[in-house]
Amino acid sequence: MSKVLMTGASGFIGGYVVDELLRRGHEVVGVDDLSKYGRVIRSYDDNPGYQFVEGDARDADLLRKLLLDCDHFIAGAAMIGGISYFHAFAYDLMATNERIMAASCDAAIEAHREGRLEKVTYLSSSMVYESTERWPSQEGDERRIPPPISSYGFQKLAVEYWAKAAWDQYQLPYTILRPFNCVGIGEVRALSDIEVSSGNVELALSHVVPDIVQKIVKGQDPLHLLGDGTQVRHYTYGGDLAEGIATGVEHPAARNEDFNLSTAESTTVLQLAEKIWAVLRPGQPFRYVSDTPYEHDVQRRVPAVGKARDLLGFEARTSLDEMLAIVVPWIRQAVHDGLI
């Protein structure tokens, strides 16, 4: 099998992806500067097929050296978080992520020319569709609709322009993948000491599922939700996303293509909250109040999933109930252990 370099390997999605690549028999080199979570213990740390390199994805020289004997590169490093994170670090995430992209592309262009690198797989985001009024969002819509309003969404759209520009000028093959609303285990409190208030609970800059679980575990009643809860999302299990990403790396039909990676199941934030409440407080009446939403809290994020199914044979099959059965107990324990 091939040798794959992944930046952002110690991140939330990165942990799932490295595990999936190793399961498929690939040799994996993971790069991460550990700036978000610190050192994270993974089940595959002692796997002989895995090499971890602590380093900065903005270091083009480091990436160049590592890529020269790699077949594939997953450009996954980025400042990333939930909507609170987007607002707290609006400038830093744009500046940092652009520097990461410059280093990643510079290194990959040289490794493709001088080494054996076949392709770069770029992790974009559903936020490229932030300004859409067309649903479901089809691949290609990102260039037909107004650009994203948030700096995070705008920068993720820029990632896709980096990918296509490197192909146009240097013939560096690419695959662009857009994960939708990852739900999974392993996301702990970031090293940042910034917190936000939600009713009587102080939250880390996290995603919606750990936020809701934390509030319920800490006794919040009624539950505080951002907005009226009618926001529509497609919550997708991290294991499914990892399968989609690994397939995007491997499949010849993915060359110079872009794909939405998502479940086909639509869920409102209110429905999600009710499901989590039923798991943690069965038999107790569900009550909630609406807090003022953030400016960039997108009301509908609904993808078309047919392209990944038809070209790659990929479908995210884990239902919301199934993923919550896996994830909620883990988050509850992490809250008790002070990890979230």
Q: pLDDT value at position 284?
A: 96
- Compare 322 and 207 and report the one with higher pLDDT: 322
Give the model's confidence band at 1: pLDDT under 50 very low, under 70 low, under 90 confident, else very high.
confident
Query: What mean pLDDT comes out for the span 256-277?
Result: 98
> Taking the alpha carbons of 73, 79, 83, 86 in that order, is the dihedral positive or negative?
negative
Listed by start position, the domains of the chain span: 3-185+235-264+302-317, 196-231+266-300+327-336
Residue whose C-alpha is closest to residue 322's, from 184, 179, 126, 181: 184
Which CATH architecture best describes the domain 3-185+235-264+302-317?
Answer: 3-Layer(aba) Sandwich (3.40)
Q: Provide the residue count of the chain.
A: 340
Give the model's confidence band at 87: pLDDT under 50 very low, under 70 low, under 90 confident, else very high.
confident
Give the model's confidence band at 100: pLDDT under 50 very low, under 70 low, under 90 confident, else very high.
very high
Range with lowest mean pLDDT among 45-54, 74-83, 271-280: 74-83
Range with lowest mean pLDDT among 9-13, 169-173, 249-253: 9-13
* pLDDT beyond 80 at 245: yes
Give the model's confidence band at 187: pLDDT under 50 very low, under 70 low, under 90 confident, else very high.
confident
Alpha-carbon dihedral of residues 198, 204, 208, 209, nearest 10 degrees?
-110
Query: What mean pLDDT comes out for the span 303-331?
Result: 98
Give the model's confidence band at 123: pLDDT under 50 very low, under 70 low, under 90 confident, else very high.
very high
**CB neighbourhood size of 223 (10 A):** 22
User: In sequence order, what DSSP letters do the residues of 183-209 get, joined into one string?
Assistant: E-S-----S----EEETTEEE-S--HH
Query: What mean pLDDT comes out for the span 169-176?
Result: 99
Q: pLDDT value at position 246?
A: 99
Q: pLDDT value at position 139?
A: 99
Q: pLDDT value at position 267?
A: 98
Q: pLDDT value at position 38?
A: 82
Q: DSSP 3-state helix, strand, coil percentages of the chain (rounded to 5)? A: 40, 20, 40
Q: pLDDT value at position 117?
A: 98
Top-level class of domain 196-231+266-300+327-336: alpha beta
Amino acid at 257: E
Q: pLDDT tens-digit profile of 73-86?
A: 999 999 987 777 88
**CB neighbourhood size of 238 (10 A):** 25
Which position has the token pair 């994170």?
85
Considering the chain, what is the average pLDDT of its residues?
A: 94
Q: pLDDT value at position 204?
A: 65
Task: Indicate the pTM of the whole model.
Answer: 0.95
Query: What mean pLDDT comes out for the span 134-142?
Result: 97
Q: pLDDT tens-digit profile of 210-234?
A: 999 999 999 999 999 989 999 999 9
* pLDDT beyond 70 at 205: no
- Quick check: helix, strand or coil at residue 36? coil
Greatest Cα pair distance in the chain? 63
Give the model's confidence band at 188: pLDDT under 50 very low, under 70 low, under 90 confident, else very high.
confident
Give the model's confidence band at 340: pLDDT under 50 very low, under 70 low, under 90 confident, else very high.
confident
Check residue 128 and report its DSSP letter: G
Q: Is 329 left (phi over 0), alpha (psi -120 to 50) or beta?
A: alpha
Residue whose C-alpha is closest to residue 221's, from 280, 273, 286, 268: 286
- Compare 257 and 42 and report the one with higher pLDDT: 257
Q: pLDDT value at position 114?
A: 96
* pLDDT beyond 70 at 50: yes
Give the model's confidence band at 159: pLDDT under 50 very low, under 70 low, under 90 confident, else very high.
very high
* Whole-number percent of the chain with pLDDT over 90: 83
